[in-house]
Structure 1
Amino acid sequence: MHDYHNQELKKLISECLRERPDSYVIHELFQQFPTRTELMDVSEQQLVTIKGIGMGKARQIICLLKLAKALTIPPHEQYTVRSPKDVFELLEPDFRYETKEHFTCLFLNTKNRVIFKEIISIGSFNSAIVHPREVFRAAIKRCSASLICAHNHPSGDSTPSTEDLILTKRLRDAGEIIGIEVLDHVIIGGNRFYSLKENGHF
């Protein structure tokens, strides 16, 4: 919670609940919902799972969050993914100088806004070992409605490998079972990208 607006939000919620900013309840609330976007999408049912927050406090928090929506939302927390190009523009700067494959997931809410960006795995020059359980453990933790996978090819060639295609199918199948849709898998190599969805692999 290093963002200025999140610190202000923490202060407001602390005062509303008459809790110290460093209390267990406040700590757990911001531990489970670390970004402003996650907090804005939280439900009463999610809040009452935190020890010390009953239905009354949950309703107080929801009311306060509705008021807080009038505050300015930091630009990086209102990034909406509409196409593979959006994924490329968001992640290419992260991948530009990497010499190993980085497998990253963008976790999205129901409006396709990025809730969280997380590196799931770092591999070698030409491979990144990823297991679906690592991807969906992170997705569930972030209360994601859907996700987009992406990784870089340090060689500069964005063409998917056979392993990339197999992994994508495993992730899609797991997502269907769990109920968190995998919207795309974007491979970034050099200044180019390859969308597996746009190229008929979904």
Structure 2
Amino acid sequence: MADKDQLLTPSIPTEQPRERLLRLGPGALRADELLACIMQSGNGRQTVFDIAHALLENVGGLYALVDTEVAELLNVPGIGRAKAIQIAAAIELGRRIAQKPSETRLQIRTADDAARYVMDRMRYLKKEHFVTLLLDTKHRLVAEETCSIGSLDASIVHPREIFRRAVRRVASAILCVHNHPSGDPTPSPEDIAVTERLMQAGRVLGIDVLDHLIIGDGRFISLRAAGYMDK
């Protein structure tokens, strides 16, 4: 869902966004103004604000940019190869910064802890992303790995890939998370089957699968709490 102020018809301010950013800081700028700073200029037919506004409308708002590919950016009127690359690079930088564990190393004590950590980043994704949180013996976050990106309604997950990364990071436990783009976190038969396979593989390797969370729009389901991991 797009924020209302991101899809309003933009008005060109008398003070350009770069000057406002320098004077007030980036937090004072709207989403279209931040995009204008990244893209820097318009073209002969559109101002940079027109292009920024068209981009937000086309992808469905600011949060949808996280899952927008370069090819999709190129379909937006006014965005060519150079601007698409600038935007994609800025999005990826933001994603990597958001995924960096804090210096104090977040401790995942409960499903709520894990859900709070990923919710804002995963609830708006348009495709299923399967993510593993790799944890040490005290369940502190060692790393976060995106293991699979599926279609709108399915995600293919290979236990060998998930546990290869866990072994490489010397993780003693993992917690799995994936999103449902529909917003409904109800587990599917495939979700339950994948969880069972991962639990079996984890037992062989001595790496605990603590839980599997399904993220919806502002809510989640823990397969552990729901009783699917009691076997």
TM-score, length of structure 2 as denominator length: 0.54
Counterpart in the other structure of 1:118: 145
Please state if 1:195 is matched with 2:222: yes
Residue identity opposite 1:100 in structure 2: K
Counting only pairs closer than 5 Å after superposition, residues 38-187 of structure 1 correspond to structure 2 as: 75=102, 77-187=104-214
Q: Is the 2:124–2:217 Cα contact (8 Å) retained in structure 1?
A: no
Q: CA deviation at 1:153?
A: 0.3
CA contact (8 A) 1:79 1:114 kept: yes
Name the larger-Rg structure.
2
1:31 is aligned to none
1:43 is matched with: none
**SS in structure 1 opposite 2:190?**
helix
Q: Do 2:159 and 2:201's aligned partners in 1 also have CA atoms closer than 8 Å?
A: yes
Unaligned runs of 5+ in 2: 1-100
Alpha-carbon RMSD across the aligned residues, in angstroms, is 1.1
| Contact 1:77–1:114 under 8 Å retained in 2 | no
Counterpart residue identity of residue 121, structure 1 = S
* Higher RCO (C-alpha 8 Å, min separation 6): 1
- Quick one: distance in 1 between partners of 2:106 and 2:213? 17
Identity of aligned residues (%): 47
Question: Following superposition, which runs of at least 4 residues in structure 1 exceed 4 angstroms of deviation?
Answer: none
Q: Is the 8 A contact 1:77 1:115 kept in 2?
A: no
Give the TM-score, by structure 1 length.
Answer: 0.62
Contact 1:172 1:182 (C-alpha < 8 Å) held by counterparts: yes
User: Please, which runs of 5 or more residues in structure 1 have no aligned partner?
Assistant: 1-73
Kept after mapping to 1: 8 A contact 2:134/2:142 = yes
Given that 1:115 and 1:142 are in contact with CA atoms closer than 8 Å, whether structure 2 keeps it comes out as: yes
